[in-house]
Amino acid sequence: MQQAWRLSELAGRLGGHWREGADPLVTGAASLADAGPGDLSFVAGPERLAEALASAAGAFLVPAGLDLDRPSIVVDRPYEAFARFLALRLPDPDRLYPPGVHATAVIHPEAEVAAGSVGPYCVVGAGARIGAGCRLGPHVTVGCDAVLGRDCVIHAQVTIREGCLLGDRVIVHAGTVVGADGFGYLAGPNGQVKIPQVGIVEVQDDVELGALVTIDRATTGRTVIGAGSKLDNQVHVAHNVRIGRHCALSAQTGIAGSCTLGNGVITGGQVGIADHLEVGDGARIGAQAGVIKDVPARAAMFGYPALDFQESFRITAALRRLPAALARLRALENRGRGPAGAAGPEQGK
What domains sit in the chain, N to C, each tagged with a CATH number?
Answer: 5-90 (3.40.1390.10), 99-308 (2.160.10.10)
Is residue 239 part of the annotated active site? The answer reads yes
What pLDDT does residue 340 have?
A: 57
| Measured torsion, CA atoms of residues 135, 169, 9, 54, in degrees rounded to the nearest 10 | -100
CB atoms under 10 Å from CB of 265, counted, come to 26
Distance CA 227, CA 167 (A): 8
Summarised one tens digit per residue, pLDDT across range 247-288 is 999 999 999 999 999 999 999 999 999 999 999 999 999 999
Sign (positive or negative) of CA dihedral 253, 158, 172, 223: negative
What pLDDT does residue 154 have?
A: 98
Residue 59's identity, in one-letter code, is A
What pLDDT does residue 333 have?
A: 83
Mean pLDDT on 227-237: 98
Decide if pLDDT at 306 tops 80. Answer: no
Average pLDDT, the chain: 92
Omega within 30 of 0 (cis) for the link into 305:
yes
Distance CA 27, CA 117 (A): 30
What pLDDT does residue 2 have?
A: 58
* Cβ atoms of 34 and 46 closer than 8 Å: no
Mean pLDDT on 51-72: 94
Q: With 0.95 as the threshold, say if the pTM is over it.
A: no
Which percentage of the chain shows pLDDT scores above 90?
A: 83
Mean pLDDT on 312-319: 75
Catalytic residue selected from 173, 239, 246, 276: 239
What pLDDT does residue 1 have?
A: 47
User: How would residue 96 be classed by pLDDT, with cut points 50, 70 and 90?
Assistant: very high
User: How would residue 332 be classed by pLDDT, with cut points 50, 70 and 90?
Assistant: confident
Distance CA 331, CA 327 (A): 6
Residue 249's identity, in one-letter code, is L
User: How would residue 174 be classed by pLDDT, with cut points 50, 70 and 90?
Assistant: very high
Which percentage of the chain shows pLDDT scores above 70?
A: 95
What pLDDT does residue 317 have?
A: 78
What pLDDT does residue 349 have?
A: 43
